[in-house]
Amino acid sequence: MYTQGLDLVPKGEKPEAPKSEEEARLEAAFQRKIDEEIRIEPTDWMPEGYRRTLIRQISQHAHSEIVGMLPEGNWVTRAPTLRRKAILLAKIQDEAGHGLYLYSACETLGVTREELYEQLLAGKAKYSSIFNYPTLTWADIGIIGWLVDGAAIMNQVPLQRCSYGPYARAMIRICKEESFHQRQGYELCLALAEGSPEQRRMLQDALNRWWWPVLMMFGPPDKDSWHTAQSMKWKIKRFTNDELRQKFVDAVVPQAERLGLKIPDPHLKWNPERGHYDFGEVPWDEFWRVIKGDGPCNRQRMEQRRRAWEEGRWVREAALAYAEKRRRRQQSEAA
């Protein structure tokens, strides 16, 4: 579903050590490639900081896709029609797929799948704050598709041109599929908007709860985002968090109006001089609380992931034992 411009440096990470002459030469050549828009591929030389930043960003992105299945999974058995149920299942399956593309891209940087998974399950890895909010009504499923996936697209489209080849290629696949997610969500919202007064109230309530958390998806404001400048120089990132947030607000306000919804922000107003919507301050205290593990559903999400991992253990082991048995049988037949 999406990467948050978190740019959080894990505790204890040390600043770069002084560089040798050889390293400085390699780094200059590396930056020249980036400036010329030549993609970096897994076996190419890259600065340690670039590798670390990418591992952090791609793994956070992958974890977000995987955890992102949980809030939607909550509604599979309660979807109102068979069509909606099939759509929701397909969307959730896509999220699993996106997580797997991204884990694969991350592994090309020299980290193993087990390490990444262990980091998530041990609660050491970050994932998008948005998935720590509950899905209370069916309207939430529409709002997630329209706004959460809409924000994801805003974030991910520039990542298709990310300087790291495997990440950019994964993003191309993901963006293609994400468009379905957004459109089915808006269509669901439209059905509720054209429904009974109660359905319209339900939709407005969902928007009221999700609006600010969705704006947090673009990450902290630029003034608090530590890595932005370096990530922009390395072309891992092409736009800042605040630029993307503004683009998103400008895009979705007319869409909300079309649904007859009111954006829950008294400061939201078109500014003809800027050619953009002005909007109120995002509640950043809440953002930091959720990121640090204290959102409405953080514990539940991690518990569910751990349980799924533990309860699936016998399947993974049985598959491996079966593969081994077959390999041996083939060997003895050949002998």
Q: Decide if 95 contacts 69 (C-beta within 8 A).
A: yes
Q: Decide if 173 contacts 100 (C-beta within 8 A).
A: no
Q: Which amino acid does the sequence have at 201? A: R
Q: In terms of DSSP H, where are the helices of the chain? A: 21-35, 48-67, 69-73, 82-107, 113-121, 138-143, 149-156, 165-193, 197-216, 228-233, 241-258, 284-289, 298-311, 313-334
| Distance (Å) of CA 186 to CA 51, 128, 146, 277 | 37, 22, 5, 21
**Chain center to CA of 290:** 15
What does the per-residue mask of binding to another protein show for 301-320, with x meaning CB under 8 A? ---------------x--xx
Tell me whether residue 130 or residue 174 sits nearer to another protein (CB atom): 174
Site for another protein in 201-260 (CB under 8 A): none
Interaction between residue 113 and another protein (CB under 8 A): yes
Tell me whether residue 96 or residue 232 sits nearer to another protein (CB atom): 96
Tell me whether residue 31 or residue 104 sits nearer to another protein (CB atom): 104
Token readout for 53 is 């930043």
Interaction between residue 101 and another protein (CB under 8 A): yes
Q: Which of 20, 43, 196, 331 binds another protein (CB under 8 A)?
A: 43
Tell me whether residue 170 or residue 290 sits nearer to another protein (CB atom): 170
Site for another protein in 151-180 (CB under 8 A): 169-170, 173, 177
Interaction between residue 95 and another protein (CB under 8 A): no
Interaction between residue 115 and another protein (CB under 8 A): no
Interaction between residue 265 and another protein (CB under 8 A): no
Q: Decide if 290 contacts 132 (C-beta within 8 A).
A: yes
Contacts of 86 (CB under 8 A, 6+ apart): none
Interaction between residue 86 and another protein (CB under 8 A): no
Interaction between residue 93 and another protein (CB under 8 A): yes
Q: Say how many residues touch another protein, by CB under 8 A.
A: 26
Residue ranges in contact with another protein by CB under 8 A: 41, 43-45, 90, 93-94, 97, 100-101, 104-105, 107, 113-114, 169-170, 173, 177, 316, 319-320, 322-323, 326-327
